[in-house]
Amino acid sequence: MNALRKFEHRPRTVRIRQMHLSLNALENRAIAAGLAGIPSHVLAGDRLSTEQCLAMYQTDDVPLLGVLANEMRNRRHGDTTFYNVNTHVNYTNWCNQFCDFCAFQRRPGDDGAYCMSPEQVEQELRNANPEATEVHMVAGVWPALGYEYFLDILRAAKRGRPNIHIKAFTMVEIDLIVKLAKKPLPDVMAELREAGLDSMPGGGAEVFSERVRAELYPKKMSSKRWIELAHQVHGEGFRTNATMLYGMIETLEERVDHLNKLREIQDVTAGFQTYIPLAFHPKNTKLEHLPFASPMERLRAIAIGRLFLDNFAHIKAYWVMLGLPVAQMALNFGANDIDGTVSQEKVYHDAGAATPQALSRAGLHQLIREAGRDPVERNTLYQALPTPESELAV
Ligand code: V47
């Protein structure tokens, strides 16, 4: 009895790399931060409620969120930090959606408007980094391209690089493609797969609030449709990613609702691979007056992703959007993936991202190592690839 009591009162500790913090100390700090009970919940592996998620958005103690998110990241992944060698093909910027947050969209004939032919897509792939294992292909919404165009660009990409994994088309593009095909979704997905589609990125979800949609992207399909499509494409065996675009006019409650909806989908389908919070870049958009999220807010978004989305294995710190120093810090705030070498990215660079156009594999290794983590190259489906010889000696 005495021994049991002694055990119960022994302070439980959490190892945060070299640091040992007692749960009591974390809980005391959490009380002051308006996060009472969250450390115990998280460290016991219990699911956080939407009210707790809101408290995490409201607290000033973002470093405490980082401590907890880092612990959960370490438990799942240790020091392993995934990256891949990839390239982007934004096949057209023609778009009829007119989203206020977008700096990429053009009308045909506008300055800088373009649409790649299948032959151009093939050439892009031939010119791409010979070591790339993935092409990320997304673009604007332009119905006149017709259904066959989408099959053709997939085939063209595979002709250009037969073994590459094609991660293409957000739910918004899938919605368009299914409408153009005038066939049931399972048939369309089978034809896209046959043409070369392997998986899908996140994106197009923005923030699920219908209020925000009505104000900033009223032409875009509803959140209900995005969610329905996610269920359906996961049901057809495709893995996809999930994102949230934050830092526009959405309330904190609307962010929580978005994350909760992603968590609910994942409970049913387990089809999401990674969650990527996307901070709004205002430059060259109709919302240029809005500020870019501070580094602390970007880190908060990563930490909350790790803590609230307990059914997501991976949280991605997309370096293109975060900036390199914040992406490095994010690896100690819950993220275990930093995206890829990335070349030819246009959506963010058009909106003012000041990050480089691409990083080499050696550059990514250095970035991850400087953050105190171990770089591991992955394929799109998160299978680890052997370390290339060039990096073994480092
Ligand atoms: O859906 C557009 C967002 C998304 C802006 O799955 C903007 O691995 C900020 O989804 N400021 C497309 N965000 C990008 C995307 C993505 C990126 C990286 C990796 C993956 C992945 C997916 O970018 C759009 C929209 O939510 N976006 N314009 C802007 N000005």
pLDDT tens digits for range 138-150: 999 999 999 999 9
Residue 202's pLDDT band, with cuts at 50, 70 and 90, is very high
Distance CA 83, CA 338 (A): 6
pLDDT grade for 62, boundaries at 50, 70 and 90: very high
Mean pLDDT, residues 65-79 taken together: 96
Sign of torsion over alpha carbons 285, 287, 290, 292:
negative
Which pLDDT value is given to residue 18?
46
Q: Among 89, 336, 347, 380, which is best to mutate for testing ligand 1, by the most ligand atoms less than 8 A from CB?
A: 347
CB atoms within 10 A of CB 307: 23
| Distance separating alpha carbons of residues 41 and 307, to the nearest angstrom | 10
Q: Is the pTM of this model over 0.75?
A: yes
Place of tokens 């053009």: 106
pLDDT at 1 over 70: no
User: Which amino acid makes up residue 180?
Assistant: L
pLDDT (0 to 100) of residue 347 = 82
Query: What's the whole-number average pLDDT of the chain?
Result: 93
**Quick one: CA torsion of 76, 81, 84, 89, rounded to 10 degrees?**
90
Instruction: Name the pairing type of β-strands 19-22 and 13-16.
Output: antiparallel
Q: Looking at residue 222, what is its pLDDT?
A: 96
The sign of the torsion formed by the CA atoms of 130, 133, 139, 145 equals: positive
Tokens of 183: 């066939």
Q: Which atom of ligand 1 is nearest to the CA of 245?
A: 26
Instruction: For residue 389, name the pLDDT band (cuts at 50, 70, 90).
Output: confident
Compute the radius of gyration of the chain from its Cα atoms. Answer: 21
Higher local confidence (pLDDT), 41 or 350: 41
Domain boundaries, the chain: 2-7+77-392
Calpha distance 331→347 (Å, rounded): 24
Q: Indicate the SS3 state at residue 339.
A: strand
Q: Which atom of ligand 1 is nearest to the CA of 352?
A: 30
For residue 344, is pLDDT > 90?
no
Pocket residues for ligand 1 (CB within 6 Å)?
101-103, 170, 201-204, 206, 241, 243, 245, 276, 278, 280-281, 285, 318, 339, 347, 351
Any idea which fold 2-7+77-392 has? TIM Barrel (3.20.20)
* Cβ–Cβ < 8 Å for 65, 300: yes
Counted residue by residue, the chain has a size of 394
Specify the ligand 1 atom closest to the Cα of 285.
30
**Residue 351: what pLDDT?**
84
Which H helix or E strand runs over 13?
strand 13-16
- The band of 5, judged by pLDDT with boundaries at 50, 70 and 90, is very low
3-state secondary structure of 14: strand
| pLDDT at residue number 8 | 39
Take residue 155 and report the two structure tokens written for it: 């085939």
Q: Average of pLDDT values for 210-229? A: 97
Name the DSSP class of 107.
-
Distance in angstroms between the alpha carbons of the first and the last residue of the chain:
54
What one-character-per-residue DSSP string does 239-254 give?
Answer: -EEEEEEESSS--HHH
Is residue 302 within 8 A of residue 328, CB to CB? The reply is no
